[in-house]
Structure 1
């Protein structure tokens, strides 16, 4: 009856999907987006480089703290600068491009899964609107409500913009690939693919085309239809579109900066990151297994089963299938392509495998789509292609219970497990006093009990929904308040002292920060900061500067309070301008 009700009211299904996107996407990516200050050390580097573009009008060369910043191409800076022009220079504008990229990708993923299942229903001559819309909604929710997507979708750096462009391009490719041969929308989907690839190249460089090319290439070679698809895609036209959109900025930035840009961006930030360890970011070969387990928690326990149900080793079967039925296989190659590529790369960071998270969401959603088919006879379930038998699902479900229980136990002991951050020495104690770890532990323990109860009753369909709702509760009641607490302890002191520095700084007076480099100071003061890591070096620098004729005859120094004795400074040697948290701002007058 529900099927008939929704099937006869497609507008209602679309409206409910939009409402779901707004609720989940809003909570995941926009709720309190600008309520927390910028987080050191990476986010303010992007924010300040974009502010410099906005202020100076130089949209070609990114700058940070008076120096060129060639780490990433220009698209993220352009997006943030445009957001500044609309919303003002603030945290919301810094993070808006990432949030929009995540929300757009989530929406396209929902559409793609729903379209795939609708075509599957047509092939099987079945009418199952509830199943396809619920499966698509679950896929979108699983993608949005997973740790890695949440973190990078709410952070003002280039990673989520890359994922938004590159993964949306992959979905557009599949939507073009899977259309009937004479469909009028096949070519537009392919053109969208080329445009989004250009966006990926302008966000992160060559990886924006190398990874999609690798994934699509492996997929087509497996199916043996590469030549046919290449003819459909009009690669020369597509390449022209991609080059026209992405290359001009590279030409301009190289023309203006020459070998400095080539060596820094293409050499150091691309070739060296793949072939050698950069910035001490090394890790063992199994690093990304752990990242996926935790970064896609709690749904990661279902990935092995979701992949096994595809029976990807049966190549002849997949070659005989309609293209529209191959979304699961495409997501599989998408996942292993990115996972394998960055496992081979020498430099390793958790964010590198962020682009595989939407593929993981598709795999898990399609696994659950099988459970929602509503077959009447158990033997039909077992005989149907891709339908999993109850035993593997039952065992995986109990692994889910153990995993949720382990998360709960870990959260109860989090205050004892985390180390002491010198920038926020009281955070661990305040975290324990807040009761947030205990609340998180209770949430996941309750989820474990609910999943166990469902497994005992052999009711598998609601299990994934319990996991999704558990993560939503964890986001609202634990993760977000924890971020506020961390901001209050770690970042707020720097913002407060930056505001004091702006008021107290005399014309031409230098601002020096001693110790760990905190780029937020540059963003919030809108001034250049001289960063000196070692206390002894800072003391020598001030002494050398004092010997020269300087106006004004003083320097502002921002550092953790224990740094001043290390610099040989006594309380009588400086004027205290402010203290906040672990930091202190002083003025050191030069002595003749």
Structure 2
């Protein structure tokens, strides 16, 4: 056994990680219904199809200003390729960008370091707690957006190192334009900080920032985004669009939440992120080594990654309403710095650094124990193949644990492999259980029932009735129509979705009811008016 483990190369472990990633990220991908934000993105794409309007996004037929449309276009193209709008196409868009993100990390890291480090930081992205058990399961904008921001960081480094400033400005501002078309104003904040930091790090701020090549490159790079908004302005006043985008960004800052919540967030933010990005966030310990600053500045690429992280992180550190998925572009920067410093630590004091080996061996042990005790969960035994998953999982984890124990240099890689294995078991056991108990799935099934009961019926949302995100998507898709709002009750041939708590005097007859994702109930009413 020892000889087999010692003969396993980094390349083989990397390919094992890639192979395990397929079932880890794809198995039962569509079993649990959409959450709210997924439903919004997919409904906007679906309404683009029905209306033929790809310039001005709509939601329930009304102009939707909260986000630019690029990600909705991606969902549209993939959904059309699949032939339907739903969980698989939307989530596959997100996973496609996760794969590109992982490949980009490997590609750029391999330009500077050996394969062992490149493979390690690549698999660390895929097995970071937040990505492995949340963001890879949903079809949201953030993985794509963060990948674009990371590409921008890398472009700034590699072109900046070569001194190709004009092409750097064109490429960087083009990526900024793409990021803006995904998420709006945050892209401009990242661009301003990143360009400035890059020029300072390469000691070129005075020579390049206020020069014609910078402004020319910015103009050329942003041209595609500018052309889109020229088209947009022919249909909707831009002042309306940008006021909403600005409000969306400012909602997350202290201006909307007050000094008390802001101070609390500033204090708790580091601890929350350490929790969300376990186990790799434990590498934060290297910061407290007396030689940390020496290590960071001993390598140009590490120095660049570190300062790009430090410069941009306050964007979210001082914004109160922040979700961990907003920070994914920082994962490879942090992980690379952490792994590099850990290797430096090992080179001067192997016994001290060995504590990390035991930490990550403990992680593998913890994963193995979770798999070992899966059968204790009563519902797990309702899955017909649970025993097969359990046996395979226990044997696999035993091998991974032993491999990690015997191979000091590959402990991080074996930890990544064990986490991917756990995600596969999670997919097979937990997701089917979640599918049965999910209120979103119950809402989805009720929307399907309503569409089957009332085919070819026009549906309208009455007044301020809140259908919420999940129901508004599934009612539209299953009935194949844009469900618009109406304050009039002059269409007896239509069915109105009505909140009778808001409108107890609605002039009509009760036809049916609809369960929403949080178990609220709204009613289908047929008006008596003509």
Instruction: Identify the TM-score tier after normalising by the shorter chain.
Output: 0.7 to 0.9
Alignment partner of 1:262 is 2:262: no
Change in CA separation of 1:56 and 1:108 when aligned onto 2, cut-off 3 Å: same
Instruction: Determine which of 129, 132, 137 is the counterpart of 1:147.
Output: 129
Instruction: Determine which of 16, 19, 26 is the counterpart of 1:23.
Output: 19
1:157 Cα deviation after fit: 1.9
Match of 1:272 in 2: 251
Give the gaps of 5 or more residues in structure 1.
1-12, 118-131, 372-377, 383-388, 417-427, 547-552, 564-581
Alignment partner of 1:353 is 2:327: yes
Q: Spell out, residue by residue over 1:170-203, the C-alpha distance to the aligned partner (whole angstroms, 9 max, x if none).
A: 1122222234x5xxx8876664433222211111
Match of 1:7 in 2: none
Q: Spell out, residue by residue over 1:300-358, the C-alpha distance to the aligned partner (whole angstroms, 9 max, x if none).
A: 2123327859733689xx4xx7xxx4221122123333432211112222222222112
Match of 2:475 in 1: 525
Alignment partner of 1:482 is 2:430: yes
CA RMSD of aligned residues (A): 4.6
Alignment partner of 1:103 is 2:103: no
Alignment partner of 1:473 is 2:473: no
- Range with greater deviation from structure 2 (474-483 or 362-371): 362-371
Give the gaps of 5 or more residues in structure 2.
1-8, 487-496
Q: Is the 8 A contact 1:114 1:133 kept in 2?
A: yes
Mapping for residues 4-403 of structure 1, pairs under 5 Å:
23=19, 26-27=22-23, 29=25, 31-32=26-27, 34-90=29-85, 91-117=87-113, 132-150=114-132, 151-179=134-162, 191-218=170-197, 220-222=199-201, 224-227=203-206, 234-258=213-237, 259-266=239-246, 268-277=247-256, 284-305=265-286, 311-312=292-293, 318=297, 325-367=299-341, 381-382=347-348, 389-400=349-360
Aligned length: 494
SS at match of 1:519: helix
SS at match of 1:35: coil
Measure, in 1, the Cα distance between the counterparts of 2:522 and 2:171: 51
- Range with greater deviation from structure 2 (306-315 or 352-361): 306-315
Mapping for residues 525-564 of structure 1, pairs under 5 Å:
525-526=475-476, 527=481, 528=483, 538-539=500-501, 541=503, 543-546=505-508, 553-559=509-515
SS at match of 2:514: strand
Measure, in 2, the Cα distance between the counterparts of 1:468 and 1:57: 44
Mapping for residues 365-444 of structure 1, pairs under 5 Å:
365-367=339-341, 381-382=347-348, 389-400=349-360, 430=379
Measure, in 1, the Cα distance between the counterparts of 2:421 and 2:322: 31
SS at match of 1:60: coil
Q: Is the 8 A contact 1:36 1:483 kept in 2?
A: yes
Q: Spell out, residue by residue over 1:521-577, the C-alpha distance to the aligned partner (whole angstroms, 9 max, x if none).
A: 23223252879xxx996246253222xxxxxx544421279x9xxxxxxxxxxxxxx
Measure, in 2, the Cα distance between the counterparts of 1:413 and 1:189: 53
Q: Spell out, residue by residue over 1:348-389, the C-alpha distance to the aligned partner (whole angstroms, 9 max, x if none).
A: 222222221121232244346669xxxxxx9xx43xxxxxx2
SS at match of 1:544: coil
**TM-score scaled by structure 2?**
0.77
Change in CA separation of 1:93 and 1:453 when aligned onto 2, cut-off 3 Å: closer
Q: Is the 8 A contact 1:331 1:363 kept in 2?
A: yes
Measure, in 1, the Cα distance between the counterparts of 2:43 and 2:32: 13
Change in CA separation of 1:451 and 1:331 when aligned onto 2, cut-off 3 Å: farther
SS at match of 1:541: coil
SS at match of 1:558: strand
Q: Spell out, residue by residue over 1:398-425, the C-alpha distance to the aligned partner (whole angstroms, 9 max, x if none).
A: 4445666677789999999xxxxxxxxx
SS at match of 2:293: coil
Measure, in 2, the Cα distance between the counterparts of 1:444 and 1:162: 38
Q: Is the 8 A contact 2:196 2:205 kept in 1?
A: yes
Change in CA separation of 1:367 and 1:89 when aligned onto 2, cut-off 3 Å: farther
Measure, in 1, the Cα distance between the counterparts of 2:358 and 2:16: 29
Q: Is the 8 A contact 2:447 2:475 kept in 1?
A: yes
Q: Is the 8 A contact 1:312 1:329 kept in 2?
A: no
Change in CA separation of 1:35 and 1:366 when aligned onto 2, cut-off 3 Å: same
